[in-house]
Amino acid sequence: MKYYTIIGEPNPKVDSLFHYVLPFKKGNKHKIAEASYLGEKYFDQERPKNWKSYVINSKTADTICCMRKGIVVKVVNQYENSSLAMVYSSKRNAITVEHSDGTLAIYKGFKNDGIFVKLGQTVYPQTELGIIEQFNSNNYRADVSISFLFDCDFKSLEKQTMQNYKSKFGYVTPYFVTENGVEKLVSNKEYTSVCSEKEFLGEFTRSEKKKYLKEPTQFN
């Protein structure tokens, strides 16, 4: 008997118009670039559906924050970044957060033992996830993407190899709240993180709002 598992919600009702908060502390500014699909570049793999991923470049070991309320469903915290001349590595510490519409935010590039959240924890916009890793001698880097499961055919996994690998996830090009308003990001441009009470409380339940009004520090 064989069995397969895959993360994600079958047939999710993705909210493609949702307004995400930028993944760093409110008031901080960073340059954000669109990332190429490295499987295509290094292994000649097919690019995933609507591929979109972003690179946050920093000159300091800044903190990566949550973009939207969700639940931490996966934590990888085992890799030590020993190279200061990194070009590509699949061995990166990462956090996956599942949202209410079935989308998954994947945050990659944390310092070893620099992750602050735990599996199963509910996180909110601006929840501090961890410290960004040093990518090379001049730069710290994190990668973020928002995806969703669109192919539930597990039978195809049996014959899958590195060369014929085809992702079962589609990707979202999100709208972000910036100092300019709500917009889709332009690659290689600097953005300042903005998070008003409207964005912060947007997905809170009634009980969470009551708790927040009594003791807001619980949601830091």
Token couple for 142: 């994190």
Q: Do you know the residue count of the chain?
A: 220
Distance CA 171, CA 160 (A): 21
Task: Write down the residue that tokens 């300042």 correspond to.
Answer: 192
Token couple for 126: 């601006």
Token couple for 122: 């509910």
**Is residue 139 helix, strand or coil?**
strand
**Is residue 192 helix, strand or coil?**
strand
Domains of the chain: 19-152+162-219 (2.70.70.10)
pLDDT in tens, the chain (220 residues): 666 677 888 889 999 999 999 999 999 999 999 988 766 665 666 777 789 999 999 988 999 999 999 999 999 998 876 555 455 567 889 999 999 999 999 999 999 889 999 999 999 999 999 999 988 777 899 999 999 998 777 666 666 655 556 778 899 999 999 999 999 999 999 999 999 999 999 999 999 999 998 888 888 7
CA 106, 108, 113, 115 torsion-angle sign:
negative
Token couple for 136: 């090379």
How far CA 136 is from CA of 5, 65, 187, in Å, comes to 35, 21, 21
